[in-house]
Amino acid sequence: MATIIVVTSGKGGVGKTTTSASFATGLAQRGYRTVVIDFDVGLRNLDLIMGCERRVVYDFVNVINNEANLNQALIRDKRVENLYILPASQTRDKEALTKEGVERVLNELKAGFDYIVCDSPAGIERGALMALYFADQALVVTNPEVSSVRDSDRILGILASKSLRAEQGDEPVKEYLVLARYAPERADRGDMLSVNDVLEILGIPLLGVIPESQTVLQSSNAGVPVILEDSSEAGAAYSDLVDRFLGKDLPHRFTSAQKKGFLQRLFGGS
């Protein structure tokens, strides 16, 4: 039976899709059959970041409307085994996501996968609600700034009150924090909230801190999930995050400012 994980945030542009892509890729790399679904109907992005945009024939909404079956719509990743992508429709809007339709598709997927990763759109409207409604666990992506933290707090409230688990009075959705675009030097200077500031406000376990990195932008433009960029800090951070999710106890890296060496200072490297 598959576990459904929603990647959500409330605010846009904080790194939900980047996290969904890397998280799903990481799970698949470790041998779990994983599917990642783009719930951002109308603004589809996940296929771009996963680098499969040119192979999209049918999409999530087609499956919901019974215009295609799952096998036709699922895109198999070319780089990583066990990884599938269910893209969003670019031509529809979020009203196409009906509770019954989403439930039917998720139930069908549950039979064949270990993990179902739902990439939520921003906001707290229909698309976001549908992405989190059936979730067992949630990765809440936050940037170290006040408005992002506030929106994540709002999403946590919705997870605790409007998810299926909340409505049925089941064990609540398990929540994890992903702090993305973190720059330790700026947090030290007080320009940004620190890891501890964010944890104090949100009060949920920290799954990973992803450092602010040029590599994220480059790899997303190249259609490669950043977790596949082994040598980059962001890739390593996502790798740790996946291991932690699977139960490994790893210390958090990239949370404190590195002392720059003499040569680095001389040449201004970052």
Partner 1 sequence: MLLRSLHFTGEEAPPFTLKGSLFTLTVLHLFQLDRAALERHLAEKIKQAPSFFNNTPVVIDLEGMTDSPEGLDFNGLYELLRAHGMVPVGIRNGTPMQQAAARLAGLPALPESRPANNGKKPERTEAMRSRIVNHPIRSGQQIYAAEGDLIVVGAVSAGAEVIADGNIHIYGALRGRALAGVRGAIETRIFCQSLEAELVSIAGRYQISEQIDPTDRGKATQIHLVEDRLIIEHLNR
Pairing mode of beta strands 83-86, 34-38: parallel
Q: Which of 12, 31, 203, 205 binds partner 1 (CB under 8 A)?
A: 203
Residues 226-265 close enough to bind partner 1 by CB under 8 A: none
Are residues 83 and 32 in contact, defined by beta-carbon separation less than 8 angstroms?
A: no
Residue 42: exposed, middle, or buried by beta-carbon count in 10 A (0-12, 13-18, 19+)? middle
**Residues between 147 and 166 with contacts to partner 1, criterion CB under 8 A:** 150-151, 153-154, 156-158, 160-161
Sorted by sequence, the CB contacts under 8 Å of residue 34 that are 6+ apart come out as 24, 27, 28, 82, 83, 84, 113, 114, 115, 116, 117
Choose, by CB under 8 A, the member of 43, 183, 199, 201 that binds partner 1: 201
For residue 119, give the nearest of 41, 178, 180 by alpha carbon.
Answer: 41
Backbone angles phi, psi at 260, to 5 degrees: -75, 135
Start-to-end C-alpha separation, the chain: 44
Nearest distance in Å: CB 51, partner 1: 36
Measured from the CB atom, the residue of 79 and 154 that comes closer to partner 1 is 154
Binding of residue 12 to partner 1 (CB under 8 A): no
Segment contacting partner 1 (CB under 8 A): 36-44, 68-76, 83-91, 195-203?
A: 195-203
What would the x/- binding string for partner 1 be over residues 118 to 137, using CB under 8 A? ------x-------------
CB of 198 to partner 1, least distance (A): 12
Residue 205 touches partner 1, criterion: CB under 8 A:
no
> What CA–CA distance (Å, rounded) separates 34 from 53?
18
- Name the residues that contact partner 1, by CB under 8 A: 124, 150-151, 153-154, 156-158, 160-161, 200-201, 203
